[in-house]
Amino acid sequence: MMPHPALRHAVVRILTPLVRILIRNGVSYGTFADMAKAVFTRVAMQEFTLQGRKQSISRVAVLTGLTRKAVKAAMNQPPEAVDGVGETYNRATRVIAGWRKDPAFHDAEGNPADLEFGEGADGFTHLVKKYSGDVPARAVLDELERTDAVRCSDDGRIHLRMRAFIPASDDAMQLHILGTDVAHLIQTIEHNLKADPDERCLQRKVAYDNLPREALEPFRRLATEQSQALLETLDQMLSAQDRDNNPAVHGTGRYAAGVGIYYFQEKVDHES
């Protein structure tokens, strides 16, 4: 069955920047196809079952268009290994967020203070232990230094340079962000496609397609400043309810929730 023209167009647009990243990182079509087969098989096996019946290889083959042999091969692939990149990213992010919002690590003016590395109540090691758990403070400091998020002065004090943790442009963490942020956005769109209007999740953007180049930089700066301020406000609310930060928080279940903001620009093919 041919996909709806709008869906076909959407998939091509999604794949175009993804394929650029894959080629740039040496991933061939054959490798991508093997990954796609595994995902098609897993999703069909786990999420498209018939009520009261065990999912079969034959049904998965029908749903995915793969042969039974291909389905079996995909099912026998080992699960994707967790490389720890995401955990490192999350820990560094929590440390910077705690440094920004916790008065125990602020100076007299209420700004993030320059910290000594030591174990004191206002030291960097205590900050890491409070917001990143059982991980060596030196490892966190090395990562923050490597990405220019902090600077160590001659007297050994640690100065926070950034309001958020931003991985280096050639960093594996950027690829981790690709996997998480894009997936979250598509999951939100998938939910909104099938949800009742009053149950849809926030999905908004502002965009114009006939802007002069001179308007881009002022808009980028304004978007960055106001978005960062909004994210810091939302961070305060969520972190207060996060059990990793506050084990005393009670409630049912375990959920992940958040808001993502991104800036984009592209050159329109035709000139006015």
Q: What pLDDT is recorded for position 82?
A: 60
Residue 187 lies in a domain: no
18 and 57 belong to one structural domain? yes
**C-alpha–C-alpha distance, residues 41 and 34, integer Å:** 11
pLDDT at 272: 45
- CATH number of 91's domain: 1.10.10
- Same domain? For 89 and 76 the reply is no
Please name the residue that has the structure tokens 């091969």: 73
136: Cα separation from own chain's centroid: 24
Domain count, the chain: 2
Render pLDDT for 111-144 as a digit per residue (tens, 0 to 9).
999 999 988 888 999 999 998 888 899 999 999 9
Contact 137, 125 (CB under 8 A): yes
CA distance 9 to 20: 17
Which of 50, 80, 110 is the endpoint of a domain? 80
Same domain assignment for residues 76 and 112: no
**Domain edge (last residue) among 160, 176, 204:** 160
Is 133 within the bounds of a domain?
yes
Do residue 15 and residue 76 come from a single domain? yes
* pLDDT score recorded for residue 208: 96
As a dihedral over the C-alpha atoms of residue 167, residue 169, residue 170, residue 176, rounded to 10 degrees, the angle is 50
Residue 203 lies in a domain: no
Specify the pLDDT at position 134. Answer: 81
In a domain, 104, yes or no: yes
**Tokens at 166, concatenated:** 């931003």
Report if residue 142 sits inside a domain. yes
- 61 and 94 share a domain? no
Indicate whether 111 and 52 sit together in one domain: no
- On the 0-12 / 13-18 / 19+ scale of CB atoms within 10 A, 82 is exposed
pLDDT score at 245: 78
The verdict on 56 and 99 lying in the same domain is no
Tell me, yes or no, whether 95 and 156 share the same domain. Answer: yes
Structural domain contains residue 67: yes
Model pLDDT, residue 83:
65
Clarify whether residues 109 and 126 are in a common domain. yes
Residue numbers of the chain with a pLDDT score lower than 70: 81-83, 169-170, 270-272
Residue in 13, 21, 20 with CA at minimum distance from that of residue 175: 21
| Domain assignment of residue 109, given as a range | 85-160
Last residue of a domain, one of 45, 80, 115: 80
| Domain-located, residue 271 | no
DSSP-assigned beta bridge partners for residue 158:
115, 152
For the chain, what is the radius of gyration of the CA atoms? 23
Is residue 165 a part of any domain in this protein?
no
